[in-house]
Amino acid sequence: MTPAALASVCYCAALRKATRRVTAIYDRALDKHGISLAQYSLLRTIRRRGPISLTELAAVMELDRSTIGRNVRVVEKAGWVRPADSLDQREAAIALTENGAELLLRAYADWAATQDAIAAKLGAGGAEALLEVLAGL
Amino acid sequence: MTPAALASVCYCAALRKATRRVTAIYDRALDKHGISLAQYSLLRTIRRRGPISLTELAAVMELDRSTIGRNVRVVEKAGWVRPADSLDQREAAIALTENGAELLLRAYADWAATQDAIAAKLGAGGAEALLEVLAGL
DNA sequence: CTAGGTTGCGGGTATATGCCCTCATAATGC
DNA sequence: GCATTATGAGGGCATATACCCGCAACCTAG
């Protein structure tokens, strides 16, 4: 049997299914703050990388530039992100607002609790192992 | 340090990023057949589960019913899927067409090669381990 | 200092995804 | 047998995602 025949389960389909499942868990935990996991992740990245251009943000998050543009538009409309100054007139640099920073603080406990729940489900060492495997993909 | 503080990397964000990356790899491999990984996976499930209702298909794939409805509409328009008979008048049962079955056969080699490439990247035992971990999520 | 290439974004288009509401059909209780 | 409940789809709405194209601003050769 070839390896592929052995693995009749598609790695990609399995990844996608697990991602949907896990995303739903985080989304439910963050729902009371009016934010999705994708948005929480976006804001966290913006907080860490300070004022940042859309292109650089896209590179960091490995998302298409246009995707970043649209996603940022949503959190900007919500008041969590604002345009930031930039020397390059082409650049649309953005930064976290006070409201955005406060939201991240408010939501942190729920995010962390979910992290712990996932880690517990993965068992001892499983969480680190998962992150390592995912990073290798 | 709490477990959450240790794991400053969000499991969900890591999963989502890896899934985007891997999906892009499969999508590129399947592109010459005019099909995406998501569609390939959908067709494969329809082939295996024979004529099936949208609700059952949604349950099997763990997707929202409305999502399945839309995704099926796309592959149906492409001629890979057709409506099937059903006793329940409410049900929209569907089945693979000849074209759909042939497409799956044509695309198989490229899918399998991608599977092997991913397995190689994961190393010995890594692939099985990944599937096991994902199934546990 | 201008011409041409480069880079940064936005918009158009399409799929993928989920939630909610509505409608039609089935099943069930009385 | 009819009223109520349950089930199956579909449509509206919103976000997430990618690709391509065009425009504007930069930058660099000459």
Residue A127 counted as domain residue = no
Residue A62 counted as domain residue = yes
Query: Within an 8 Å CB–CB cutoff, is residue B11 touching chain A?
Result: yes
B77 Cβ contacts chain D strand, under 7 Å: no
Residue A84 counted as domain residue = yes
Residue A88 counted as domain residue = yes
Residue B54 counted as domain residue = yes
Q: What's the token pair of residue B9?
A: 């990397």
Letter string b/e over residues B70-89, b meaning 16 or more CB atoms within 10 A of that residue's CB: ebbeebeebebbeebeeeee
Nearest-Cα residue of chain A relative to residue B15: A19
Which structural domain, as residue segments, surrounds residue A59?
A: 33-111
Nearest-Cα residue of chain A relative to residue B21: A137
Q: How many domains does chain B have?
A: 1
Radius of gyration of chain B (CA): 18
Q: What is the pLDDT of residues B14-29, one digit of tens each?
A: 999 999 999 999 999 9
pLDDT at B65: 96
Residue B127 counted as domain residue = no
Residue B29 counted as domain residue = no
Q: What whole-number distance in Å separates Cα of residue A22 and Cα of residue A69?
A: 25
Q: What whole-number distance in Å separates Cα of residue A64 and Cα of residue A97?
A: 23
CATH number of the domain bearing residue B52: 1.10.10.10
Residue B46 counted as domain residue = yes
Dihedral sign, CA of B9, B11, B14, B18? positive
Letter string b/e over residues A98-130, b meaning 16 or more CB atoms within 10 A of that residue's CB: eebeebbeebeebbbebbeebbeebeeebbebb
Mean pLDDT on B39-64? 96
Which nucleotide does the CA of A89 lie closest to, via C1'? D25
Q: What's the token pair of residue A22?
A: 């896990």
pLDDT at B78: 96
